[in-house]
Amino acid sequence: MTSTKRRDPTTVARVVVALVGVGCLLLTAQGAVQATGRGVAFMTDREHDLPALQHQVDLETLWQQFVEQVPAGSRISLTPARANKDLWQQRLSELAVLRGCVVVQVGPRDYSVGVTTVQRKRPTSPGVRLVVRKVG
């Protein structure tokens, strides 16, 4: 005489549902890991960091205009900018030193140099312009 143990149908159904749930969880986790990896790569890629790119374009534009409009070795005074006054004051001082210019606050000077904001034509076009006035 052989005795066979019959399994309860609800137990079998519970095991099957648990296995299907674990399989779905693994598939979902795989997609979440891939999406997170792509998001981190997107955020750390400087090409997609628009504010940093705009700032870099602004600095390069100011440097190019400074080289074109202000002769090396000139004495300049800085005109305060309306927006980001401290930032542009510092950056213009740095550009002047790189160009060999002397920044003066009082006394004789050759040029007055300032920054004004302009409307960007594209998201990556310059948002600032150098304003140079010959004083002496």
What is the average pLDDT across 75-90? 86
pLDDT, tens digit, for every residue of 23-64?
A: 888 877 877 777 787 777 766 766 667 788 888 899 999 999
The total number of structural domains that make up the chain: 2
Q: Is the pLDDT of residue 122 over 80?
A: yes
| Residue 1 resides in a domain | no
CA angle 74, 79, 85 (to 5 degrees): 125
| Residue 3 resides in a domain | no
Query: Helix or strand or coil: residue 133?
Result: strand
Q: Is the pLDDT of residue 1 over 70?
A: no
Tokens, residue 100:
């060999």
Are 63 and 99 in a shared domain?
Answer: yes
**pTM, entire model:** 0.64
User: To the nearest whole number, what is the mean pLDDT of the chain?
Assistant: 85
Q: Which helix (H) or strand (E) holds 25?
A: helix 9-44
d(CA 124, CA 129): 14
Q: Is the pLDDT of residue 5 over 80?
A: no
Are 59 and 94 in a shared domain?
Answer: yes
Are 94 and 35 in a shared domain?
Answer: no
What is the average pLDDT across 19-23? 89
Say if residues 52 and 46 touch (Cβ distance below 8 Å).
yes
Residue ranges making up the domain that contains 29: 9-44
**Which CATH number does the domain housing residue 60 bear?**
3.30.2300
Q: Is the pLDDT of residue 2 over 70?
A: no
Are 127 and 80 in a shared domain?
Answer: yes
Q: What per-residue confidence (pLDDT) applies to 50? A: 79
Are 80 and 36 in a shared domain?
Answer: no
